[in-house]
Amino acid sequence: MRASVWFAQGTRFSEVMAGDAMDEFMRVCPERPFTRGSYLFRQGDPATQMHVIAKGQVKLLSLTPEGNERVVAVLGPDDFIGEAFVIDADRYLLDAVAITDVVACPMDRDQFTRLALHSPTFTVRFAEILATNLVQCRQLLTHSLDPVKRRVAKVMLDQAERFGEPLGGGDLVSLQTELRHDDIASLASATRVSASTAIAELRELGIVEGSRGSYRMSLAGLRAYVADELG
C-alpha cells in the first residue's frame, strides 16, 4: 500500500469545462460545504475521492519528524486535491484543512466512471487539464533550483495573484492570509531565517508592506523582482 497525495493548481477548471461538461459534472458531483478549520481529509484516510475546490482556500499539511506542521501548498478555486481515487489501495499522505469556509465537489471512482461514460467531452477536457499539470510539475522541478530570494518572491506573487484583493485601479493588492513566515518558508522550501530575510528585502524595496498575515503588495514589483532574480 502506498501513501499518496496530489494536487493541481491553476487548472481553469470552470473555464475549460464551461457548458454541458460542467452541467454534467455538477449533476454527478454536487457541491459540499466545509467550515473553516475542518478537514477535507486526514493523513492515512483512504484516498477515495478527488476534490475540486469551488470556493475558499485549503492548505495541505505534513508533519515533520519533530511533530510540527509544515504547509505544502495553499489551494483555491478550480484547484484539485487527490487523484488517487482511481486506485482503491491508496491513502492520503497529508492533511487537507479548510483555511476559510470552503465549497468543494468531491468525485469518487464511480462518479468519474459515470462521467466518462455519459460525457466524453468532460473526459477529454479532464485529460487536457492533467496533461497541462504534468508540464507545470516539470517546470516546478526546474524552479526548485532557483535562489532562495526568488523562490520566496514567487510564493508571495502566487498568493497575491490568486488570493489578493485589488486596491484602486493600479497593480496594488491587499492580501489577508493565515500564512506566517514559517509557512512561506515551507512553501518556498527555505528556512525561516532565509524567508524572513527575503521578505525584509522586498519591504526595503517597497514591493511588500505589512506583516503578520496582512500585506499590501505590488504585482508589477514582484514580477520584476522575480525576473531580475532569474537573470
Q: State the Cα–Cα distance between residues 219 and 213, nearest whole angstrom.
A: 17
Q: Is 228 helix (H, G, I), strand (E, B) or coil?
A: helix
Going from N- to C-terminal start, the domains of the chain cover 13-142, 146-227
Degrees to nearest 5, angle at CA 181 with 164 and 56: 35
Mean pLDDT of 18-30: 93
pLDDT band at 87 (very low <50, low <70, confident <90, very high): low
Cell of 148: 532562495
For the domain spanning 146-227, the CATH number is 1.10.10.10
Note the pLDDT of residue 88: 59
Note the pLDDT of residue 230: 46
Type of residue found at 119: S
Cell of 18: 464551461
pLDDT at 1 exceeding the cut of 50: no
Q: State the Cα–Cα distance between residues 147 and 178, nearest whole angstrom.
A: 25
What does the DSSP assignment read for 80-141? Answer: EE--GGGSTT-EESSEEEESS-EEEEEEEHHHHHHHHHH-HHHHHHHHHHHHHHHHHHHHHH
Mean pLDDT of 62-72: 82
Q: Are 214 and 149 in contact (CB under 8 A)?
A: no
pLDDT at 83 exceeding the cut of 70: no
Q: Is 2 helix (H, G, I), strand (E, B) or coil?
A: coil
Mean pLDDT of 129-141: 70
Considering only residues 34 and 210, tell me which one the structure prediction assigns the higher pLDDT: 34
Q: Read off the pLDDT of residues 201-231 as tens digits, 9 standing for 90 and up.
A: 999 999 999 887 899 999 999 999 988 754 4
pLDDT at 154 exceeding the cut of 60: yes
Report the CATH architecture of 13-142: Sandwich (2.60)
pLDDT more than 70, % of the chain: 89
Q: Is 186 helix (H, G, I), strand (E, B) or coil?
A: helix
